[in-house]
Structure formats: structure tokens, C-alpha cells
Amino acid sequence: MKLQLALDDIKLVDALVLVEKIREYIDIIEIGSPFIIEEGMRSVREFRKYFPEKYILADTKIMDAGDYETELTYLAGADYCTVLGVTDTLTVKGCLESAKKYGKKVFVDMICVKDMEKRILELEEIGVDCFTVHTGVDQQAVGRTALEDLAEMKKVSKKSQISVAGGIKESTLYKYKKVGADIIIVGSGIIHADDPVKAAKAIYKELKSK
């Protein structure tokens, strides 16, 4: 089980400083979509330069031009990028073709997908093997969590690696471990903690414990 740090509402310099402090406690650095909107692929290149040993995910949430946009992330140094599950299957196929060309991976973000079971089966049929259960901040604001969707995805998926995001913090981590996520994504639970280093260490230790 891996810990993915989601960098969203943070400035580039501040993010670089933070990750340097907690680099031993994270497995994957996620360059979040707000971060990419502000900094572009420069952010991916900077993290690749300073953290060569880490996996980097560019949360691009691709909706069209899958092969082209996916390629941009890999050329910048990303190991993974994301495409939205609600998009056209042809777009996802384009992402997969680009990922195969560069020896990388694509995570399909299932935010707002209505029929989870049907869409997972469709996408695994064309070769998808990485999914993200994602409860957005707007959904979290009205009390929704990712636990139910994670349980459904684990039940339906035949072969895929599954990451989960949505307001996860140290006190709720055990629930997601119990359901069986492969990657736990934490953002504000570390970034906005009173002591981010202490929070990252505690979450990482809990994540790796049996």
C-alpha cells in the first residue's frame, strides 16, 4: 500500500520545501489539477528534477485528445497522469496507447461516474488497470465519502490497481485500509496539518503497519 501526497492549493516553492521535509514518508507525489492550472507542466519538471526517486502523478483529468495530452505529461517527467472516466472511450484508448509507448501508466478518475460497475467493466475490457475512487471537495462538503465507492470498485474490478481520494486523514485511514485500497491519497490532511511532518510520518507509519 502506497501513500500519495496530493498537492493542490499550495505554491510551487512552498510545495518543494514541504516535500523535501517529508520525502521519506511519501511514495507518490501528485501534482494536483489546481497546481497544474497555475504552473503547467513546469511543476512536473521541477519535481522530477528535485525528487528523481519518487513516482510523480500529473492530475490532468484529461477529457479529450487523450494521446496528445498524456504524452505532454510523460515528456515532462510524470510516471502517471489521469483521465476522467466520464469521457469517451476513444479518449481513454488514446491515453493507453501513449502510456504504452512511454512505458507509463494512466489512472482513470471515476469522479461523477453514475454506473460504476458498468464503466469499470467497459474500461478494463480495453486495457485499463488503474482506477481512482475520487470524492470531490464539493461532494465532501455535503457529507459524502469515498468508502462506498471504493468497496464497490474492489468488488467489481477484476485486475486493477485502485487509489482513493476524498478528505482522508490519519483518523479515518484505517477504514480505507480495511476495504483494501492500493494507494491512499492525502492532501489537506498533511499540507494543512498543524505539523505537516508529524502528520505525514504518522499517516505513513499507519499505512505501512499490518
**Domain CATH code at residue 73:** 3.20.20.70
Q: Number of folded domains in the chain?
A: 1
Residue for grid cell 512505458: 103
Give pTM, 2 decimals: 0.95
Quick: pLDDT tens for 16-71: 999 999 999 999 999 999 999 999 999 999 999 999 999 999 999 999 999 999 99
pLDDT tens-place string over residues 195-207: 999 999 999 999 9
Supply the DSSP symbol for 210.
-
User: What is the domain extent for residue 103?
Assistant: 2-208
Phi first, then psi, for residue 127 (nearest 5°) are: 115, 0
Nearest CA to 189 among 209, 170, 165?
170
